[in-house]
Structure 1
Amino acid sequence: MTTTPSRLPRRLALAAAAIVLAGGAAAAWIARAPAVVEGAAVPQHDAALIERGRYVAQLGDCVACHTAPGGAALAGGRALESPFGTIWSTNITPDTATGLGGWSFGAFERAMRHGVAADGHRLYPAMPYPSYAKLSDEDMRALWAYLRDEVTPVAAPNREATMRFPFNLRAGLGLWNAVFADTTPFVRDASKDALWNRGAYLVQGPGHCGACHTPRGLAFQEKAMGDGGTGGRQFLAGSVVEDWHAVDLRGLGPVADTVELLKTGQNRFGAVSGSMTEVILHSTQHFRDEDLLAIATYLAALPGERPAPAERTASRGTPETSYTTRGGLGYTQFCTDCHRADGRGVKGVFPALDGNPTVAARDPATLLHLTLTGWKTAATERHPRVYTMPGFARLGDDEIAEILSFVRASWGNGAGPVSADQVKQARARLDPTVEASKFETPRLAALLAEPDATQLVRGMRLNAETRELLPEHVGADMNCSSCHLNAGTVAGGSPYVGVSAFFPSYAPRAGKVITMEDRINGCFRRSMNGKPLPADSPDLKAMVAYFDWMRGATKKGDQVPGRGVGKIDPKLVPDPANGEKVYATQCAVCHGADGEGLKDEAGRTVYPPLWGERSFNLGAGMARTYTAAAFVKRNMPVGFHEKFPLGQGGLSDQEALDVAEYFSHQPRPDFPDKVKDWPKDPKPKDARY
């Protein structure tokens, strides 16, 4: 469930608009509340109360807003942007001069429940005091004890909000509070059990979930305010926050999936995104299991119109439109390596799109945001490694609209199309960075415009689904795209771009001039440990046709940016012991602890084995250390950072060489014809035979 949003307080200067719109000059007479700043005496609290307060701080996710990037914990200074200016979060450490050290508990409680600071000035509702008003007295005192007695004091002066006139006038907030801020304490529902009531308290109070997930009115108030916090069908019904769609939480279920999502940032339907990753990181992953269960139980019980998620007991397979539409081919090229052709993703690594609530949401805001700017997983105890999806802003508005429309229509998601105009508007708001590149990625979608489109699409599919389509010719759990990423369209990923222009050509390993057909069949025999295709085979002709289409305007002798896999300094000396460590930390998650590769529930290969009887044989180029190292350097691991198009690469030259030495020298099938290799030319120093 790729749910969302950007962390709630950040969305709001919000009610700053309401100060003037609702209050205006008429509210200017409202006096500042009397200051209650007291001396620096710090009361002592017992350890149990302090520990309870620590947990309350996690329930409320205080650290998310009150800690600046790279700054001291809870010392404030984080910029909370709004359309009306910037609010800077405050120092809530017990420093006497700049934090809460000079406050009394009464002043703290008033700020938490009513939005009035110790010196009497009113707080912007970027501080979600309407939700915190529901904290129990016991939790409020415990939080105070933790902040005063446990948090390290930090001298960090607070910054004034830089709000534009007239939003810099705080007086109208008093009227806004009188109209919209519901300060009713949490009241248990006697008709519900203890679990439901605990969930209701956590969601409505410290968790302040409504700040993002409840739609806003004209004065930027939560529409559920003023009626006990439940707001009928408006409460938690979903909203748009900083171009993220905060999903409808009403009727959210199944309960176990919600618990897993809040604990780990992932479940079988997807993964969190946007600033919800921070909520998982700092807050919900630390909740007690019984509290996660309570929250999930409460949300599931709220009446709503959410369709029940379909049970994903079996794959719906590859959609028929994958190869007949521009959107389907765009998805095949740019998305399948991570999200797979059947939309099932890779468990624990890349989220599924099949049954994903964000994909199927009526509002595609989050989907557009993710596609244009990228995404990262939440780092949790169960999933500590962060995986990244790069932004795809390099693609045109039409291309993105086609791909997202395909995704929303496939696997039973049943959502409406995305228009190029929607992409254009989102791009203008988000202003994503687009890095320049000398390598122009060919678009598979363009195949459909060719007169021989059927043959070309077949040739492309033979590269992407080699083992499935040609089982008698493939003896390993490999496809051509195992080494030629995204059907041969990735710079530095052994792309096919321009390759056929250089054939026929002399091959030192064969000691003779070979054709394009010879080169293809060489890969069948070595890289896939299989059998060559007959010279008159329609499939071989389709593959050659696809290569010729990839040639474009390239002529023999041209310099093709991104061609091949690059080089690794031959002076470097590999360290296989370190390579084993690199493999365990960076490679095993996809290729298996014992190099066996990764399969899905149906037994189909997701990521190929790197050694063993189902891997490439001794005669493959990848069995050579320096060739494998160059490929690894530029292409592995996938999802490592924001590099287009797979977030691939990122290891140092030495790390790539070490891990290549380790896996290339593991057991693998022999290649009997190795005795015929390099009959005239010197053998490379890293050849295995």
Structure 2
Amino acid sequence: MASATVQEAHTLAANSPAAPDTPQIIDDLPANYAADLTAEQRTLVERGRYIARLGDCVACHTGEKSKPMAGGLALETPFGKLYSTNITPDKATGLGGYSFAQFDRAMRKGVAADGRNLYPAMPYPSYAKMTQEDMQALYAYLMHGVEAVAAPNRASEIGFPFNQRWGLSLWNWLFLDDTPFQPQPAQSAEWNRGAYLVQGLGHCGACHTPRGVGFQEKTMSGEGSKGRFFLAGETVEGWRALSLRNLWTPEETAELLKTGRNRHGIVSGNMVDVVQHSTQYMSDADLLAIGTYLKSLPAGSGDLPMQVAQGPAPRIAIPARATAGAEAAHYDVPADLYTSRGGLGYLQFCADCHRSDGGGVRDVFPSLEGNRSLLSDNPSTLIHIMLTGWTTPVTQSHSRALTMPAFAQLGDQEIADILNFTRRSWGRKNAPEVKAGDVASQRKQLKAQADHSRPFETPRLAAMLEEPNARQLVYGARLNIETRDLLPRNVGNALNCASCHLNAGTVADGSPYIGISAFFPSYAPRAGRTITLEDRINGCFLRSMNGKPLPLDSEEMKSMVALFDWMRRETKPEDKVEGRGVGKVSQAIVPNRDNGKKIYEAQCALCHGGDGEGVKNARGQWVYPPLWGDESFNIGAGMARTYTAAAFVKRNMPIAMHSKFPLGQGGLSDQEAVDVAEYFSHQPRPDFAAKVKDWPRDSKPADARY
């Protein structure tokens, strides 16, 4: 890059208004804000609004979404709880009585208008680096571009001696450097702009720089003898704010800050708010400047990958069935995926989104390969996410929030096993071990409680390893998950058993296998006779998978039946099994197919394709199945019936909708479920020749397709 003069760099840092491609947010301005302002003043307010976005003021100073900037948000500190202040222009409770000089002092020195010292939870050591021009613009925005809200400030809940604010004067004397940002002449204008944003308005160091004995940031920039500490990673509120040093390419960093994701992962923890309220609104030039600056910082040692020689665990190649005229493809999965407790736990609870090869789903669920949280020595973020869940940021490029549900229902050792497996498999094989005690400690700190609101008990696939016939049981589970690839002669479409029997038949209301073998042999109205469990399994192969039946004496059939028998537990034929089947939806609900199409486009197309064609990965392998067309279930399947499909959708689709264990599944109303089921179930699909033999003795259901 070409070097910039001091003046050029200073001018760039001072001129902060949004670039032309910056999304303009005008609905946060009062309707009459410009009534008494000149054109020059309105320009200043608009510029100040962009600066407020850069500083992410709204994230901390909004307790109630209906009252932006009115404060009241609880901020946890090691010494107690603070509440953010009202920074609307209300004269009695906000900033309305502040002169510019008083505002400037508060922002640079942490001293309020009445002389009280502010706690450095307000990142005034970073804001001190702001230029005078930016400070004036921000003041103009807060005074004229924000709706005044009368909201008294809440007293802090800090105990003695930390509630003695006079001590903060000493803290400032020891640690505060209120010198504005000084551009470096040897660096480019872009580098200096990035440094200004990261060190100042962005206050990235508030979370990402290690703290000293006085809980001060060890350094405020990457220069000087302590520069190696800058942005080297710190743990904040149970999240590991990772090292930002020598980050990805500038373009990849810009993409993450703009959209909340890039090929390396999706933001989590406090960064969700940062992207949602701040960085997505930055100009592309500013985002690239930040990426350029972060890339220039020498690599640290705490959170970055170890050497390649210490890389991820061994893989095995799994054959994937070839399409017509093509050779069989392969995909690599960890060698102990089916042979370790952590691997089976991952397969049951994580692979539906992150996939068995850790590859995730492009633009939907993050890949785990090289994810910095997995590479980090400190597993705090991983444990935090497992215990409390996580939601993606809502951005202009990704308007639907996706959730990872909380897994607090899993035991401490189970979570440790899964995390150790993922760290070995896609982080590095010598990653420090996560212990059950680490999970228990963070569970207590986060007050993460398991949900026992219903009696359904989820079987653990990992428990199969303790059985005498473990090999057979594991094979049965694998056949359920990889049916299409393992049984190409019997499956005629893109579905697996687990497409309907979620998580290998272990999800409540997701057609679980629990207790099912106790109810066979039994009479089946569709067949008009008593059928065996083997008959029922082959019915799925013929209908849902549009294929051919398994030989009754085959190893595959015996393994599947063994899995069902293992999940039978103590169930007796006369028992009622909680969570069995998919429930019911009233057939009195009249479907609206047009509305069903809209719901499909909004909630289903992300995973099943805009035209129901399903989703494949970069290697052309199926990730999520098609809902209609030649590769979907045929007309004889239960899912081809509106109300059967609606009951399944109601309780199981879409996934990642909310925090419900284990897939965040369900969330549509009964009417919505019926509407969307009517839409996709009546799309073109394969015929079923044997349909003429169905219901020979009993009345067929009202929603039967034939």
Alignment TM-score, normalising by the size of structure 2: 0.89
1:375 aligns with 2:393: no
Greater Cα shift, 478-487 or 155-164: 155-164
- 1:57-456 map, 5 Å: 57-225=52-220, 231-305=226-300, 306-307=304-305, 317-411=332-426, 413-414=428-429, 415-436=431-452, 437-456=454-473
Q: Which runs of 4+ in 1 moved over 4 A?
A: 42-45, 225-230, 308-312
1:50 aligns with 2:45: yes
Q: CA separation in 2, counterparts of 1:118 and 1:226?
A: 28
The SS at the match of 1:141 is helix
CA gap of 1:567–1:230, structure 2 versus 1, over 3 A, is: farther
CA gap of 1:308–1:384, structure 2 versus 1, over 3 A, is: farther
Contact 1:438 / 1:561 at 8 angstroms: preserved in 2? Answer: yes
Q: CA separation in 2, counterparts of 1:296 and 1:162?
A: 38
Q: CA separation in 1, counterparts of 2:146 and 2:466?
A: 64
CA gap of 1:420–1:673, structure 2 versus 1, over 3 A, is: same
Instruction: Report the count of equivalent residues.
Output: 647
Give the letter for the 2:423 counterpart: R
CA gap of 1:67–1:285, structure 2 versus 1, over 3 A, is: same
The SS at the match of 1:205 is helix
Residue 37 of structure 1: aligned partner? none
The SS at the match of 1:410 is helix
CA gap of 1:105–1:606, structure 2 versus 1, over 3 A, is: same
How far the C-alpha of 1:378 sits from its partner, in A, is 0.4
Contact 2:205 / 2:220 at 8 angstroms: preserved in 1? Answer: no
Alignment TM-score, normalising by the size of structure 1: 0.92
Give the letter for the 1:356 counterpart: N
How far the C-alpha of 1:666 sits from its partner, in A, is 0.5
Residue 31 of structure 1: aligned partner? none
How far the C-alpha of 1:316 sits from its partner, in A, is 6.6
Greater Cα shift, 530-539 or 76-85: 76-85
Q: Which runs of 5+ in 2 are unaligned?
A: 1-35, 313-328
How far the C-alpha of 1:70 sits from its partner, in A, is 2.9
- 1:460-499 map, 5 Å: 460-499=477-516
The SS at the match of 1:297 is helix
Give the letter for the 1:338 counterpart: C
Q: Which runs of 5+ in 1 are unaligned?
A: 1-41
The SS at the match of 2:623 is strand
- State the percentage of identical aligned residues: 64
How far the C-alpha of 1:309 sits from its partner, in A, is 11
Give the letter for the 1:560 counterpart: V
1:621 aligns with 2:638: yes
CA gap of 1:357–1:315, structure 2 versus 1, over 3 A, is: farther
Contact 1:180 / 1:226 at 8 angstroms: preserved in 2? Answer: no
Residue 668 of structure 1: aligned partner? 685
Give the letter for the 2:44 counterpart: L
Residue 574 of structure 2: aligned partner? 557
How far the C-alpha of 1:374 sits from its partner, in A, is 0.4
From 515, 518, 527, the equivalent of 2:544 is: 527
The SS at the match of 2:81 is strand
CA gap of 1:80–1:411, structure 2 versus 1, over 3 A, is: closer
CA gap of 1:412–1:237, structure 2 versus 1, over 3 A, is: closer
Contact 2:306 / 2:428 at 8 angstroms: preserved in 1? Answer: no
Q: CA separation in 1, counterparts of 2:685 and 2:226?
A: 64
The SS at the match of 1:223 is coil
How far the C-alpha of 1:188 sits from its partner, in A, is 0.9
1:105-128 deviation digits (Å, cap 9, x = unpaired)? 111111111111111111110110
1:408-450 deviation digits (Å, cap 9, x = unpaired)? 0003543332111111111111111321131110000011111
Aligned-pair Cα RMSD in Å? 1.8
How far the C-alpha of 1:371 sits from its partner, in A, is 0.1
The SS at the match of 1:233 is helix
CA gap of 1:226–1:119, structure 2 versus 1, over 3 A, is: farther
CA gap of 1:298–1:503, structure 2 versus 1, over 3 A, is: same
How far the C-alpha of 1:82 sits from its partner, in A, is 2.1
Contact 1:315 / 1:342 at 8 angstroms: preserved in 2? Answer: no
Residue 11 of structure 1: aligned partner? none
The SS at the match of 2:227 is coil
Q: CA separation in 1, counterparts of 2:512 and 2:614?
A: 23
Give the letter for the 1:54 counterpart: R
Contact 1:259 / 1:293 at 8 angstroms: preserved in 2? Answer: yes
Contact 2:373 / 2:381 at 8 angstroms: preserved in 1? Answer: yes
How far the C-alpha of 1:48 sits from its partner, in A, is 2.0
Give the letter for the 2:347 counterpart: T
CA gap of 1:198–1:309, structure 2 versus 1, over 3 A, is: farther
Contact 1:389 / 1:639 at 8 angstroms: preserved in 2? Answer: yes
Q: CA separation in 2, counterparts of 1:166 and 1:214?
A: 25
How far the C-alpha of 1:308 sits from its partner, in A, is 9.1
Q: CA separation in 1, counterparts of 2:63 and 2:637?
A: 51
The SS at the match of 2:474 is helix
CA gap of 1:412–1:281, structure 2 versus 1, over 3 A, is: closer
Greater Cα shift, 409-418 or 216-225: 409-418
How far the C-alpha of 1:84 sits from its partner, in A, is 2.2
Residue 6 of structure 2: aligned partner? none
CA gap of 1:229–1:477, structure 2 versus 1, over 3 A, is: farther
Q: CA separation in 2, counterparts of 1:591 and 1:356?
A: 26
Contact 2:129 / 2:181 at 8 angstroms: preserved in 1? Answer: yes
Q: CA separation in 1, counterparts of 2:140 and 2:71?
A: 19
Residue 626 of structure 2: aligned partner? 609
Contact 2:119 / 2:168 at 8 angstroms: preserved in 1? Answer: yes
Contact 1:182 / 1:228 at 8 angstroms: preserved in 2? Answer: no
The SS at the match of 1:179 is helix
Residue 631 of structure 1: aligned partner? 648
How far the C-alpha of 1:317 sits from its partner, in A, is 2.0
Residue 523 of structure 2: aligned partner? 506
How far the C-alpha of 1:596 sits from its partner, in A, is 0.5
Contact 2:71 / 2:85 at 8 angstroms: preserved in 1? Answer: yes
The SS at the match of 1:157 is coil
How far the C-alpha of 1:227 sits from its partner, in A, is 8.7
